[in-house]
Chain A
Amino acid sequence: MKVVVDMTLCQDHGQCAIAAPEVFRMDEDSKLVFDAEPDESLSDAVQDAIDVCPVQAIFLER
């Protein structure tokens, strides 16, 4: 599973980090950092993050 975030869209709301903390987190400056190749076992959490992102910036490449 490969996670892609369109950084031109991302507004650093951090909703993905709430939905899937195993994959996404906000750094010291409240900027998004994420694991681009998370384990398959996290696919439900990643899907929740994709759904919740207010600007719909998160995509999957399989």
Chain B
Amino acid sequence: MTQTPTAATPPLSWDDLAYLPVSDSSFSVQSDAVRQARAQGWCARTPYGLAVLRYDEVNKLIKDRRLRQGSWAWPAHNGVTGRFADWWAGWLLNMEGEDHARLRRLLNPAFSPRALAELSPTFVALANELVDGFAATGECEYVSQFAEPYAARVVAMLLGIPEQEWPAIAEVSATIGLAMGVTFAQELPRIEEALDRLFAYCDAIIADRTANPRDDFATTLVLAQRDGERLSPTELRDSMALLVFGGFDTTRNQLALAMKTFAEHPDQWALLAQRPDLGKAAVEEVMRVSPTVTWVTREALADFEFQGLTIEAGTTVHLFSESAGTDPRAFADPSFDITAEGRVPHFGFGGGAHHCLGHFVGRMDMSVALPILAQRMPDLRIGPGAEWMPLSGNTGAHRLPLLFTPQS
């Protein structure tokens, strides 16, 4: 076999990189500026550090252990200490190395595809029940009538919270979500109050399943053990609270983005209605071209060189999932097509050590929901008054009026 000589990568200077103002509220990951920067090189400068734009480089860096997950210092950056900061520090997402591995080993079994398979019929019933609420009218406000209750009730189902309590999940999650915003420090009392309510829920479930084990997800989580180790009560509670937070908004937003994508591709929507077996492929394609998590954040642990660029310790690196997912270097025809074969995987669930813990849940609940929606909401159109979040960070819709042809 002949070996192509690999020329040493020429050094790349930060001064030569395109600049992307990712912290501006008007910034969009789908803007021409991002497309031009991606054509020019694999990365760009940002106010925080580096944005990585091409498939190969995102794929390498998302698994590179010279980087750690980038949100761990967020409370400290905002001068926040106390209950919230303690909870944050105990998040799976914010841990690294052996602490992360130990917690993940204990949480993994509850999320195995074998353990989750039996939930599928429940998801079908839930999707149909929600669509029944508006199918005859030919219109709906999709976020409040479908995406939000669906996502919240799936989380409720998993954790064993009574499903009619779902609005509390949505409310608590929205309040805690304020922690991600610029008013974090001012809102802290409200956020901690919501956190207390969430903890109270979790403590009640933990006490109940410890005393009365059942054959369900919550019991698997509560009784998890490995090599004689178990989750401590605090670890359990913190992790359950993170599941609400990591599983609800993401699913709600991803379901809204799916409708946006399909409204732009009516032929694919009609095809999905005819071929519900394409539900899985539909989820993967939606998350490739329109991921709710538009970037994942990493931080360099030490100075290192990558493709000719020197990345200093402490640099914030944003790995752009949508830009990677539509990179023409990886997708010869990047257009949205749920029948396309041989696609390389997208990064909508992240990758590497922090790969989404709940992806089998998200994949299953969305792949069940989308064909049902396609069958029961033909001729899908976006109605007037849609309110979108900025196309950056974690994106989605606040309000999404939809129109369709009611079925007789």
Identify the A interface with B (CB < 8 A): 11-15, 18-19, 21, 26, 30, 48, 51-52, 54-56
Residue of B nearest to A11 (CB): B345
Contact A48 B109, CB 8 Å, known A11-B351, A13-B63, A55-B345:
yes
A21–B97 CA distance with the chains assembled, in angstroms: 12
Residue in B60, B65, B104, B353 with the greatest tally of chain A CB atoms within 10 Å: B353
Residue of B nearest to A55 (CB): B345
B190 within 8 A of A: no
Are A18's CB and B113's CB within 8 A? Answer: no
Are A51's CB and B63's CB within 8 A? Answer: no
- Which residues, 59 to 78 on B, are CB-close (under 8 Å) to A? 59-60, 63-65
Are B63's CB and A18's CB within 8 A? Answer: no
Contact A30 B112, CB 8 Å, known A11-B345, A15-B355, A54-B359:
no
Are A13's CB and B351's CB within 8 A? Answer: yes
Per DSSP, are chain B's interface residues mostly helix, strand or loop, or mixed? Answer: helix
Residue of A nearest to B109 (CB): A48
- 30 A-B pairs whose Cβ atoms sit less than 8 Å apart in the complex: A11-B59, A11-B345, A13-B351, A13-B352, A14-B63, A14-B353, A15-B104, A15-B353, A18-B100, A18-B101, A18-B104, A18-B105, A19-B104, A19-B108, A21-B101, A30-B60, A30-B63, A48-B108, A48-B112, A51-B108, A51-B109, A51-B112, A51-B113, A51-B115, A52-B112, A54-B351, A54-B355, A54-B356, A55-B345, A56-B113
A21–B101 CA distance with the chains assembled, in angstroms: 10
Are A30's CB and B359's CB within 8 A? Answer: no
Residue of A nearest to B114 (CB): A51
A12–B113 CA distance with the chains assembled, in angstroms: 19
Instruction: Give the interface size class of chain B.
Output: 20 to 34
Are A14's CB and B352's CB within 8 A? Answer: yes
* Total cross-chain contacts (CB, 8 A): 52
* B-chain residues with CB within 8 Å of residue A13 when the two chains form the complex: 63, 351-353, 355
Contact A30 B109, CB 8 Å, known A14-B352, A18-B101:
no
B9-47 vs A, Cβ < 8 Å mask (1 yes, 0 no):
000000000000000000000000000000000000000
Residue of A nearest to B363 (CB): A54
> A12 to nearest B CB, angstroms?
6
B349 within 8 A of A: yes
* Contact for B105 among A12, A14, A48, A54, CB less than 8 A: A48
B90-125 vs A, Cβ < 8 Å mask (1 yes, 0 no):
000000000011001100110111110000000000
- Which residues, 338 to 384 on B, are CB-close (under 8 Å) to A? 345, 349, 351-353, 355-356, 359
A52–B112 CA distance with the chains assembled, in angstroms: 6
* A-chain residues with CB within 8 Å of residue B351 when the two chains form the complex: 11, 13, 54
> A9 to nearest B CB, angstroms?
9
